[in-house]
Amino acid sequence: MLTLLAIAAALMSPALSNFIHGRSLDAEAIRLLSLTRAAQSRAVSEGMPVLLWLDAEHGEYGVEEEAKSDATDAKAQQFEMNESVSLSVANTTADTTQLRHLPAIRFMPDDSIDESSPDTIRLSDPTGATLLLVQTRNRNGYEIQRDNK
């Protein structure tokens, strides 16, 4: 009986591992999407541009008001990504919005997204699964899409 249980556990281990990694990827994409909506709402309610910055190298992202002076944002937030999920920002150029030399999405007080904000954010896990946060067609928000490559 124990031998049968050990064999079943050995066979299910890779599938369970893939399931857990997939859940981490989904959860991270949902958290990042929720943060885009919160940042956009904050920009509208406070009447100031709000930046969602993305640090792929350190696996972090966060939100803060675009300061016109050296004042710090008391409502700034910073998040660490799940260690099994990696982040990359597609199509960055010299014109891409930045905060402290990091690519950023700029949400404007008129409920729009600045044209120099990244169009696509790629999240992937060690299994090769990838989710994309892409700007909607009307360029007023982001949505999650599966990468069909």
Map out the domains of the chain as residue ranges.
Answer: 2-146
Helix (H) or strand (E) holding 55: strand 50-55
Q: How far apart are CA 117 and CA 103, in angstroms?
A: 8
Please tell me the predicted confidence (pLDDT) of residue 18: 46
pTM attached to this predicted model: 0.79
Q: How far apart are CA 124 and CA 138, in angstroms?
A: 26
Tokens matching residue 4: 């049968």
Q: Nearest-CA neighbor of 53 among 27, 32, 82?
A: 32
Lowest mean pLDDT among 16-30, 47-61, 72-86, 101-115: 16-30
Query: Top-level CATH class of 2-146?
Result: alpha beta
Percent of the chain predicted with pLDDT > 70: 81
Percent helix, strand, coil in the chain, to 5, is: 30, 30, 40
Contacts of 115 (CB under 8 A, 6+ apart): 139
